[in-house]
Amino acid sequence: MRTLGAAARAASGVLSCADAAIKSRALKAMAERLDAARAELKAANGVDVARAAEGGLDAARLDRLGINDKTIDRMIDGVLQVEKLPDPVGEVTDLSYRPTGIQVGRMRVPLGVIAIIYESRPNVTAEAASLCLKSGNACILRGGSEAIESNRAIAACVSAALGDVQLPMAAVQLVRTPDRAAVGALLKLDEHIDVIVPRGGKTLIERISRESRIPVIKHLDGVCHLYIDDAADLEMSLSIAFNSKAEKYAVCNALETLLVAEGMAGQVLPGLGERFAQAGVELRGCPKAQRWLPSAKDATEADWQAEYLGPVLAVRVVDGVDQAINHINRYGSQHTDAIVTQNYARARHFLRAVDSSSVMVNASTQFADGMEYGLGAEIGISTDKLHARGPVGLHGLTTEKYVVFGNGEIRHR
Amino acid sequence: MRTLGAAARAASGVLSCADAAIKSRALKAMAERLDAARAELKAANGVDVARAAEGGLDAARLDRLGINDKTIDRMIDGVLQVEKLPDPVGEVTDLSYRPTGIQVGRMRVPLGVIAIIYESRPNVTAEAASLCLKSGNACILRGGSEAIESNRAIAACVSAALGDVQLPMAAVQLVRTPDRAAVGALLKLDEHIDVIVPRGGKTLIERISRESRIPVIKHLDGVCHLYIDDAADLEMSLSIAFNSKAEKYAVCNALETLLVAEGMAGQVLPGLGERFAQAGVELRGCPKAQRWLPSAKDATEADWQAEYLGPVLAVRVVDGVDQAINHINRYGSQHTDAIVTQNYARARHFLRAVDSSSVMVNASTQFADGMEYGLGAEIGISTDKLHARGPVGLHGLTTEKYVVFGNGEIRHR
C-alpha cells in the first residue's frame, strides 16, 4: 500500500502540470477504451454478479452492481461530459498590485492525491477517475469487494487510456486486494494522500471519519426541510412540497420534515394530505398538524431527526419563520432547506439565517445536485463546512495557492 | 466548558445575521474601551509580568508578554483596521440562471464558532476577537496561563463593547481556567466548535492537531526556499536572497535554504557569502557550493529539512530549475518558495510546479504575510491544503453555502 501511495504521489507531480489538452485526450481515450471493452466489462461484471447472487446479496445492491450496455453508455457519456468541462487548474484570480510593487493573486491547483472509497456501483470507478484526472489529481480507488472484477476491468481501460497519451499509469490506481484491512492501511497513508472521499452508507463514512488522520470530504445525513410561510402561494406550496418529497425518495436531497406556518396550515395541509395519501406517503404530524391531517400518526422527537429515505414525512406546524429557522438549525443536518414565500423580508432572512449547504427560496429541495447547479459531474455532496460544502465538483477537488510576481522587490519591516 | 460551548453556539446564530453596521459599531466601541482602560490593562499586565519573572520565564517570552502604551496603541490600531475591512459575510457570487429556471449562486457565511488557542502575546486576544467578530463568528479564546490577567482585562473591554451595541457577550468568551486540561476539554467540544486555530509553537500545534476531532487550521513549519536561476539578474539575486534571509530571522517566511543554478554559482555565491558573513549569518553548503563559499560548513541531510529561524542558511548548487523544484517539493514545508529569473518559461513552470501556499517570482519570501497580500490582518498562515491555504484573513474564517432562487420550479428526473 505504501508503494501504491508513493507511486500516486510521484504521478501527481506530473498530473498537476499536465495541460488541458493532454487531459482532454486522456479522457477521450478513456471513453474509447470503455466502448471497445464492452464484452470484457460485461464478462467481468458477470463474474461479480454471479458471486454476489450466490453470496446472497440483496436485490437492491445486486441491481446497483449490474453493468449492461445502457450503464456502459452512461459511463462513457459521463467521461465525455467531464472532458467538456473547463479545466479548473491554473486559473488565477484577484491578481492585483500592492503598494510595495508586488502583484499578488491566487492560482487554482490540484489537491494532490485523492483516495476514493466506495461501495457497490462499479460506474464510480470511471466517474471518480475522470473527475480526478480533469482536476489534475492522482487518485487511489478502493471499490467494494463485491465489484472487484468489474472495477478491475474498468481500471484496465483507464490505465490503457493513460498509456495512450503517455500520462503515468499511477495517476489512477485501483486497490486490488479485496480485504477490509486495505481501507485501514489507506487511512494511515497521510504522507501520500491529501484527502479521502468516502462514498457509500453512513456506517462506512462514519468509520472512515473516525479512523482517518487524513482530511475527509464527507456526506452524512440529508435531513432536508421545507418551510411553507404565511405569505406562500398555495399552488406553489403544494407542488414544491410534493416534488421535494416524492420525486424520488431514496436521495439525500429528498424532503424529510415539512414545516407549515400556522396561518397556512388550514389551506395547505388538507390538499397535501390527499396527494401524499394517493402517493402512499405516510405522514407523522405534531398535534396541530394532525388537526388538518386526521390520518397522520403522532410525530415523536425521533421523527424530527429522521432521514427516512422513503415514503414517510414528518409534518410540524410552526408560529412563523423564526420558529422554522430554529427547528431547522436544531434538527437539520445542514444539507438542503427551503422556504416557500412571496414575502421579500422573510425570504432574505431565511437565506441568511439557515446554516445549511444549500438554502432555497421557492424551489424543490431535489434540485440540490451538482448537475442541476451547473458544476458538471459531482463526486458527492459535502455536509462539512470547511473546504467543500454542498455538491462537490471539480472545484472541490482543487485548492488555491498564492502567486506573487515581482521585479526585485524586497521587504522593509 | 460545555456551557461555554453552548453559549458560543447560541451567540453565533445572532452574530451570523448581524449586519455590517452593528459589527462596525462593536469594533469601534472595542477600540474606545481599550483606550479608556489603559491603566487597568497595564496594571493587570504588571501582575502577569511579575509572576512570570518570578517563575523564571525567559527574556524573549517576557518581552512578548509585556504591555505598554505602544502595544496598546498597536492593539487599538489593529481593531480599527479590521473595522475598515469590507464585511465578507453575505457576499453572493456566481449567481446565474440554470436551464430549469432556478438561479444558483454561492453566499459567503461565517464558519460558526471558532476556538483560538494561543501562547504568551496578550494582544492576540484583541486581534482574534476583532477578526472573528468582523467575520460573524463567535469565538472562544484560550490564551497562555502566564498572560491570564492581561487577557482577562482585554476580554473585559471586548465584553463591554459587545454590551455597548447590544450584541451577545458570549460572542467572545475567554477560557478563564489557566490549567492545561481546559485545552483538552475544548478539543472535545465538536458539537459546539466548528474550527480550531492554534497559534504558537510547533509542540502546541502538533498536540492540538493530534488530539482534536474538530478541524484545525494550522501552521507548522516554514522551510522556505529561494532558487536563483541561470537567467537571474545578478543584483536582484543578491538583494532578494539577502532580504529573504536577513530582514528578520525568527519569522516563518524567512529563507532557510538557498538553491543556486550551477551556471550562476560563480557569480552569485562569492558576493552573497561576503554579505552574509558581514551580517553574521552562518552558511552550510553542499560540496559544489563550498567551492565558492570556502568558509561554509558541510550541509547535511538535516540541513535541507531545517527551519533555523535564526542566522543560519543552507546553500545547495543545483543543475537547473527541475532539480530546484524537486528539492523544494521534497524538503520544503509547502509554505513559501521563490525563483529569481528573467526567463519567462522557467518562471511559468516554477509557479505551476512548486506545490506551496505561496510561490513567488523575483520577490522576497518575507512578503508572505496577510498585510502584504492585502488581506488586512491575518489570524495565521496555514500550511494545510484544504479550506484555507497561506495567510488566513477574514476570508479564511468564512465558508460558502449555495443559495437557490426559484419561482415554483420542481425537478423532473
Model confidence pLDDT, tens digit, residues B1-10: 889 999 999 9
Start-to-end Cα distance in chain A: 48
Give pLDDT tens digits for B140-188: 999 998 999 999 999 999 999 999 999 999 999 999 876 778 889 999 9
In this predicted complex, what is the ipTM? 0.92
- Residue pairs spanning A and B at CB distance below 8 A: 227
Q: What would the DSSP string read from start to end of B283-299?
A: EEE-HHHHHH-TTPEEP
Q: Which positions in chain A touch B374 (Cβ < 8 Å)?
A: 96, 98, 104
Residue B56 in contact with partner chain A when CB distance is under 8 A: no
Residue A74: count of CB within 10 angstroms of its CB: 13
Q: Which positions in chain A touch B338 (Cβ < 8 Å)?
A: 404
Q: Which positions in chain A touch B408 (Cβ < 8 Å)?
A: 233, 235-236, 239-240, 362-363
Helical residues (DSSP H) of A18-147, grouped into ranges: 20-36, 38-54, 59-65, 69-84, 123-134
Contact call for A104 and B373, based on CB within 8 A: yes
Supply the pLDDT for residue B380.
85
Contact call for B90 and A352, based on CB within 8 A: yes
Using alpha carbons only, give the angle B164, B165, B168 rounded to the nearest 5 degrees. Answer: 95
The bridge status of strand B103-110 relative to strand B92-97 is antiparallel
Cα A231 from chain centroid (whole Å): 33
Residue A385: count of CB within 10 angstroms of its CB: 22
Given a cut of 90, whether residue A120 has pLDDT beyond it is no
Rounded CA-CA distance A83/A105 in Å is 27
Rounded CA-CA distance A388/A215 in Å is 11
DSSP tally for chain A: helices H, then strands E? 15, 16
Q: Give the residue on B whose Cα is nearest the Cα of A14.
A: B353
Return the DSSP state at A377. Answer: S
Whole-number percent of chain B with pLDDT over 90: 84
Q: Which positions in chain A touch B240 (Cβ < 8 Å)?
A: 408, 410
Supply the pLDDT for residue B203.
87
Q: Which positions in chain A touch B235 (Cβ < 8 Å)?
A: 408
CB-side neighbour CA atoms (13 Å) of B159: 12
Low-confidence winner among A221-225, B212-216, B324-328 (lowest mean pLDDT): B212-216
Rounded CA-CA distance B290/B299 in Å is 9
C-beta of residue A288 within 8 angstroms of C-beta of residue A317: yes
Amino acid at B191: E
Q: How far is A290 from chain B (nearest CA, A)?
A: 26
Contact call for B401 and A356, based on CB within 8 A: yes
Query: What are chain A's domains?
Result: 2-217+388-405 (3.40.605.10), 224-367 (3.40.309.10)
Given a cut of 80, whether residue B265 has pLDDT beyond it is yes
Residue A401 in contact with partner chain B when CB distance is under 8 A: yes
Quick one: which of A259, A294, A112, A124 has its CA closest to A192?
A112
C-beta of residue B237 within 8 angstroms of C-beta of residue B265: no
Supply the pLDDT for residue B317.
98
Helical residues (DSSP H) of A85-175, grouped into ranges: 123-134, 148-164
CB-side neighbour CA atoms (13 Å) of A314: 24
Given a cut of 90, whether residue A5 has pLDDT beyond it is yes
Contact call for B248 and A413, based on CB within 8 A: yes
Given a cut of 90, whether residue B364 has pLDDT beyond it is yes
Contact call for B410 and A247, based on CB within 8 A: yes
Amino acid at A214: I
Q: Hey, which of A128-142, A181-195, A206-220 has the most confident mean pLDDT?
A: A128-142
The residue whose grid cell reads 545547495 is: B316
Q: How far is B267 from chain A (nearest CA, A)?
A: 17
Residue B112 in contact with partner chain A when CB distance is under 8 A: yes
C-alpha distances (whole Å) from B323 to each of A95, A122, B329, B332, B343 are 28, 40, 10, 13, 16
Supply the pLDDT for residue B59.
87
Residue A255 in contact with partner chain B when CB distance is under 8 A: no
B 328-357 near A (Cβ less than 8 A): 329, 338, 349, 351-353, 355-357
The DSSP H or E segment spanning A243 is helix A234-246
C-alpha distances (whole Å) from B339 to each of B107, B211, B213, B322 are 37, 37, 38, 12
Cα B54 from chain centroid (whole Å): 31
Per the structure block, which three cell numbers stand in for B1? 466548558
Give pLDDT tens digits for A277-292: 999 999 999 999 999 9
Rounded CA-CA distance B44/B122 in Å is 11
Using alpha carbons only, give the angle A315, A316, A318 rounded to the nearest 5 degrees. Answer: 150
Q: How far is B354 from chain A (nearest CA, A)?
A: 9
C-alpha distances (whole Å) from A222 to each of A243, A332, B368 are 16, 8, 40
C-alpha distances (whole Å) from B200 to each of B118, B151, B208, B218, B303 are 6, 16, 11, 10, 23
Q: Which positions in chain A touch B399 (Cβ < 8 Å)?
A: 385-386, 389
Per the structure block, which three cell numbers stand in for B183? 485545552
Rounded CA-CA distance B396/B391 in Å is 8
Instruction: Identify the band that residue A160 occupies on the pLDDT scale cut at 50, 70 and 90.
Output: very high
CB-side neighbour CA atoms (13 Å) of A166: 2
Return the DSSP state at A120. Answer: S
The bridge status of strand A380-382 relative to strand A358-363 is unpaired
CB-side neighbour CA atoms (13 Å) of A60: 2
Contact call for B247 and A403, based on CB within 8 A: no
Start-to-end Cα distance in chain B: 48
Q: Write b or e for each residue in B185-207: b if 16 or more Cβ atoms lie within 10 A of its Cβ, otherwise e.
A: bbbbbeebbbbbbbbbeeebbeb
Rounded CA-CA distance A348/A353 in Å is 9
Interface with chain B: mutation pick from A351, A410, A412, highest number of B CBs within 10 Å: A410
Residue A372 in contact with partner chain B when CB distance is under 8 A: yes
Cross-strand bridge partners of residue A360: A338, B404
Residue A56 in contact with partner chain B when CB distance is under 8 A: no
Quick one: which of A178, A78, A87, A88 has its CA closest to A129?
A78
Q: Which positions in chain B touch A351 (Cβ < 8 Å)?
A: 107, 403
Per the structure block, which three cell numbers stand in for A316? 410540524
Interface with chain A: mutation pick from B402, B403, B407, B413, highest number of A CBs within 10 Å: B402
The model's pTM: 0.92
| Strands across the sheet containing A336-340 | A297-298, A282-285, A312-318, A255-261, A224-228, A336-340, A358-363, B398-409, B103-110, B92-97
C-beta of residue B102 within 8 angstroms of C-beta of residue B403: no
C-beta of residue A146 within 8 angstroms of C-beta of residue A48: yes
Strand ranges in B309-388 using DSSP code E only, listed in sequence order:
312-318, 336-340, 358-363, 380-382
Quick one: which of B126, B117, B145, B157 has its CA closest to B52?
B145
User: Between A109, A194, A408, which is nearest B239 by CB?
Assistant: A408
Per the structure block, which three cell numbers stand in for B147? 498572560
Helix, strand or coil for residue A225?
A: strand
Q: Which positions in chain A touch B373 (Cβ < 8 Å)?
A: 98, 104, 402
Instruction: Identify the band that residue A180 occupies on the pLDDT scale cut at 50, 70 and 90.
Output: confident
Using alpha carbons only, give the angle B34, B37, B38 rounded to the nearest 5 degrees. Answer: 90
B 67-106 near A (Cβ less than 8 A): 90, 96, 98, 100, 102, 104
Contacts of A248 (CB under 8 A, 6+ apart): A254, A366, B413
What rounded mean pLDDT belongs to chain B?
A: 95
Supply the pLDDT for residue A328.
98
Per the structure block, which three cell numbers stand in for A381? 455532496
Q: How far is B412 from chain A (nearest CA, A)?
A: 7
Residue B391 in contact with partner chain A when CB distance is under 8 A: yes
Interface with chain B: mutation pick from A97, A352, A358, A405, highest number of B CBs within 10 Å: A352
Contact call for B413 and A194, based on CB within 8 A: no
Instruction: Identify the band that residue B66 occupies on the pLDDT scale cut at 50, 70 and 90.
Output: very high
Give pLDDT tens digits for A351-386: 999 999 999 999 999 999 998 999 888 888 898 888
Q: How far is B285 from chain A (nearest CA, A)?
A: 24
C-beta of residue B173 within 8 angstroms of C-beta of residue B140: yes
Low-confidence winner among A59-63, B244-248, B333-337 (lowest mean pLDDT): A59-63
Q: Which positions in chain A touch B358 (Cβ < 8 Å)?
A: 401-404
Helix, strand or coil for residue A317?
A: strand
Q: Give the residue on A whose Cα is nearest the Cα of B89.
A: A352
User: Between A243, A359, A400, which is nearest B403 by CB?
Assistant: A359
Q: Give the residue on A whose Cα is nearest the Cα of B400.
A: A389
Q: Give the residue on A whose Cα is nearest the Cα of B211.
A: A213
Contact call for A409 and B109, based on CB within 8 A: no
C-beta of residue A223 within 8 angstroms of C-beta of residue A251: no
Interface with chain B: mutation pick from A109, A193, A248, A375, highest number of B CBs within 10 Å: A109
Helix, strand or coil for residue A24?
A: helix
Interface with chain A: mutation pick from B22, B350, B352, highest number of A CBs within 10 Å: B352
Per the structure block, which three cell numbers stand in for B364? 522576497
Residue B248 in contact with partner chain A when CB distance is under 8 A: yes
Instruction: Identify the band that residue A400 occupies on the pLDDT scale cut at 50, 70 and 90.
Output: very high
Q: Give the residue on B whose Cα is nearest the Cα of A349.
A: B17
C-beta of residue A228 within 8 angstroms of C-beta of residue A259: yes
Contact call for A363 and B408, based on CB within 8 A: yes
B 264-283 near A (Cβ less than 8 A): none
C-beta of residue A355 within 8 angstroms of C-beta of residue A329: yes
Contact call for A405 and B195, based on CB within 8 A: no
C-alpha distances (whole Å) from B214 to each of A386, B100, B113 are 11, 38, 11
Amino acid at A232: A
Q: How far is B57 from chain A (nearest CA, A)?
A: 27
Quick one: which of A131, A138, A126, A159 has its CA closest to A45?
A126
C-beta of residue A95 within 8 angstroms of C-beta of residue A107: no
Quick one: which of A405, A411, A406 has its CA closest to A107?
A405
Given a cut of 90, whether residue A114 has pLDDT beyond it is yes
Q: How far is B155 from chain A (nearest CA, A)?
A: 27
Q: Which positions in chain B touch A366 (Cβ < 8 Å)?
A: 410-411, 413
Low-confidence winner among B79-88, B142-151, B371-380 (lowest mean pLDDT): B371-380
Total residues found in chain A within this entry: 413
What rounded mean pLDDT belongs to chain A?
A: 95
